Structure 1
Amino acid sequence: MKFLSKTLGKSILLVLSCTMVGLLLLIAVFAIPTDRMEEHVLASAAVFEEEGAYPEFNILGTHSTLDNWTDAIMLLQASYCNDTGLLDRAISVYRPTIEGENPAQVLVSYYTQGAQTQIISYPRYWHGYLVFLKPLLCVFSYDQIRILNAVFVAVLALLFIAVMYYKKMARYILPYVIALLLIDPFAISQSIQFTTIYYIYTIASIVLLLKQDWLEASVERLALFFVVIGCATSYFDFLTYPLVTFGVPAILFLCSTKKPLKKTAKILLLVLVCWFIGYAGMWAGKWILGTLLGNENIIMDAISSIFLRSSTLDVSGQSFSLFSVLKAQLYHIITPAFGFAAVYVIVMGICFWKHNPKKKRSDFTWTLYIGIALLPILWFVGASNHSYVHHWFTYRELLTSAFSVMCLFARYATKTDAIARREK
């Protein structure tokens, strides 16, 4: 109990520190002059005029949808500057809007036609992506940022795979590649909105693998590492598929740890709680700071949004079932990559049954893989409205489920004595 109290106290202090650092970073980037940013957003208007708010992207047979709607919001917030103070701009995050037009249309109308606009704020989110987006817009246009994104997505994927190989986790590489294809990394690279979670979970996973001995040497240290991951998720993400930032590092920990089952289960539960403390705590930090330092009661607005996003009512007020939520997510992973995943599971399943399955089942470590795989389902149920309305990108939470299940088969498909030798 003393250990848990100490860890909880340090987690709260860490969240408070991340909150203050996050605010200072936003204040710093809002101090950057926006002249060059506006020039590059103007140069980007043609992309939004041609593609619209939700263009389809189909390289892997996924029929993915890009989120130009949200990317336009990001660019408008990054480039707009009013005469209020730095603190107010960092807290409130203003942008121009035009009644009856979506953000992609607003960007085109405002920058190419000089249309009359209203100014609105969006204080409920941290908008931490502006820490990187505003400096990038000083140098690059939107289509150039897309190219950079594609390069970074590819480089990080290759680095992640290389680190897995270096850490003698080669058997988990194919499960990860298949799981990544399920969520369409090509589409992710073309929307700023989708890349934040990809960057967070990939970098966190690489750090976990490279520093695993140091992190596992202290359970408290590992727990605080997941607090930071949760804080970063809340700070940078626009509420896309946040649970993945817990899921992938947790699966890698489970695949690589040599700790006994009971202790491993306790650690996984602890780091899940700590991730949530970081995630929820960072949200709460913005709402409290925004209410105290801003011009709106963000806390009440946030509470109202939580009730809406957890409801079973769609945008028109019609009720939907939880089964409909799950069905909408699953629809998006029925792709060629899903066929690869199915073949992988079947082949590994046959290998599993050939090599002493009874002894492997009695180990019960498999229950931890199944537990992690079920977490996205709980997320979809808890955030029913958001998952139903935005199913075309929230389905990416299923990366956690797919990766966990395939890692389970990768671990248990070999002979029992081979597993034992590797885990000594």
Structure 2
Amino acid sequence: MTLAPNATGDIPPLPVDRLLRRVLAAGLVAIALVLLLQPLFVGLLVATRSASDLPAIRGHIVQAFADGYLANDEQPTRFMHGGGHQFTECAGLLVAIDPESDPLIAALRPVMHSPYVGPCGEVESLAKGVATDKRTDYARYWHGYRVYLWPMLSVFSLETVRMINLVLLYAATAFYFIGMRRAIGATPALAFFIVQMSLTDIWRMWNITTHTLSTILILAGAGLFAFLYPRTRNLTLAIVMAAAFGAVFNFVDFLINPPLMPMLLAFIVIATELKSPMPIARQTVIPALLMAGFVALAWFGGYGVTWATEWLLAVWMSPDGQQAGLSIIKQIALRLYGVEADSVVPMYPLIPTLTMILQSFISVGSVVVAALAAAMFVFLRAHWQAFDWRRFLLLSWPTLIAMAWFEILNNHTQTHSHFTYRSESAAIAMVFAAALLATNAQATIKSLFGDLWRVIRQRPAQAPAA
């Protein structure tokens, strides 16, 4: 159910009591959907594992090492296929070629036939048929990316799979940009997109399949949400979609960038609810914040239920359930505030967030972001009276989702800062877009840089023609 526009053409906010009733009903639907997805996930894993050609997959992996697309030292000789987190790529392949004959066990109790120290060398050995008595239990994840890897590598070489990754990733990125453009407007969306692409490696992560799949889901899902929510303003649909996205993301994800999607969904909601250029009425603020917050919470709910289901299945399927449970608990504690002997990081508040901010600016794209920041400074200085600080802060609040995740998963955030930073890059992009949305003045990217160029050359802007 959507709200009807009022006399001014705007859709009024839901009263808080009606909003909470709507959230409760939507939550029940979302819980039912997420629970129904769990057996579907199991069925998908079992069906694709049963139909996969493991000898062909192993052959394609061996060939990838011979051709330089993979390397034992995690430094492939093929230039465009190097970089990224090669460790994760090889770990995913290692899980995918688990020789377990029972599809159900292979699906729900994935075991690495290796000590999991150097997965690139270990996956090559396993693919070549070198036997080892070393085993590493990896059932704490669904490893749903195998639903993609198994059929693809049964038919195609790793090089071809990565080319398909590239096409799918770029298509998802384009869809994401178009959706954001429709949701928040051309200039804010373009500023958001420029900053996010400049401060991340999204544009070239296609060589790491596990990272690619989870990112495709984030971008395509956020793009779809951006198309639908501003048109429907349907909170029930938004909450159910968010919960489903969280569940599917957990299924395919390798703990890559979990806070990124709920942050984007919350931003789309708050930007839509505060879209009117008029001053924000007090009765609009609380409903808008609650709606955005409940959508983000629904995403984490779907994500959490799916992960809890996998842990329960892993314990149930394990021959030693107690040991499996303790192993999972140990990993949870480690990724929160644990300390690893070979990767000691400072366990202090705000250090993870500061690390993510600094990590975001290590790329060459920082030059582009710096130029855009300078252009926006000139724009905001010229239109300071039209800038609404209150709107800016409200639009920027979803960035706290990423910050909270960084601080809670202190160890994981810092240990894997070379890819966990992507959520912070999107948060920085969100601040740029929020600043434009909070300014009641028209601008384009061209005009922003044009004004900056005039300031640099110390030329006053020409008065508009009468």
Instruction: Specify the code of the residue in structure 2 equivalent to 1:345.
Output: A
CA contact (8 A) 2:359 2:421 kept: yes
CA contact (8 A) 1:247 1:372 kept: yes
Whole-Å Cα distance in 2 between the matches of residues 311 and 277 of structure 1? 22
Give the aligned partner of residue 265 of structure 1: 289
1:281 aligns with 2:310: no
CA contact under 8 A between 2:46 and 2:107: conserved in structure 1?
Answer: yes
Q: Counterpart amino acid of 1:381?
A: E
SS of aligned partner of 2:139: coil
1:272-421 aligned at under 5 Å gives the runs 272-297=296-321, 298-311=324-337, 313-316=339-342, 318=344, 320-322=346-348, 323-334=350-361, 335-357=363-385, 360-361=388-389, 364-415=390-441
SS at match of 2:365: helix
Cα distance in 2 between the residues matched to 1:332 and 1:36: 39
What TM-score do the two structures reach when normalised by structure 2?
Answer: 0.79
Q: Deviations over 1:43-102 (max 9, x none)?
A: 22233654623669999xxxx94222221121122233223x3221111013321x5851
Which position in structure 1 is the counterpart of 2:13? none
Structure 1 window deviating more from structure 2 (6-15 vs 316-325): it is 316-325
What is residue 41 of structure 2 aligned with on the other side?
A: 22
Contact 2:182 2:227 in 1 (8 A): no
CA deviations over 1:141-175 (Å, ceiling 9, x no partner): 22222222122222222233344456672111232
Distance change in 2, residues 1:15/1:215 (3 Å): farther
Give the aligned partner of residue 231 of structure 1. Answer: 247
Letter in 1 for 2:380: F
Asked if structure 1 preserves the Cα contact closer than 8 Å seen for 2:34 and 2:302, the reply is: yes
Cα distance in 1 for residues equivalent to 2:173 and 2:225: 15
2: CA distance, partners of 1:190 / 1:57: 11
The 1:417–1:45 alpha-carbon spacing in structure 2 relative to 1, beyond 3 Å, is closer
The TM-score normalised by the length of structure 1 is 0.86
The 1:104/1:242 distance shift into structure 2, 3 A limit, reads same
Q: Name which of 248, 257, 271 aligns with 1:255.
A: 271
Pair 307,95 (structure 1): closer, same or farther in 2 beyond 3 Å: closer
Unaligned runs of 5+ in 2: 1-19, 277-283, 445-466
**In 2, distance between residues paired with 1:16 and 1:243?**
22
Partner of 1:6: 25
Query: Does 2:196 match 1:184?
Result: no
Residue pair 2:112, 2:135 contacting (<8 A) in 1 also: yes
1:147 aligns to 2:163 (yes or no): yes
1:81 paired with 2:99, answer: yes
Quote the Cα distance in structure 1 between the aligned partners of 2:23 and 2:113: 47
Question: In structure 2, do the counterparts of structure 1 residues 312 and 293 end up closer, same or farther at CA, with 3 Å as the change threshold?
Answer: closer
The one-letter code sitting in structure 1 at the alignment partner of 2:249 is: T
CA 1:246/1:55 → structure 2, altered by over 3 Å: closer, same or farther? Answer: farther
Q: Give the percent of matched residue pairs that are identical in Structure 1 and Structure 2.
A: 19
What is the total number of aligned residue pairs between the two structures? 409
Closer, same or farther: CA 72–24 of 1 in aligned 2, 3 Å: same
CA distance in 2, matches of 1:27, 1:82: 12
For the aligned residues, what is the CA RMSD? 2.9
- In the TM superposition, what is the alpha-carbon distance from 1:350 to its structure 2 partner? 2.9
Residue 178 and residue 400 in structure 1: after superposition, are their counterparts in 2 closer, same or farther (change >3 A)?
closer
Contact kept, 8 Å, 1:56 with 1:65, in 2: the verdict is: no
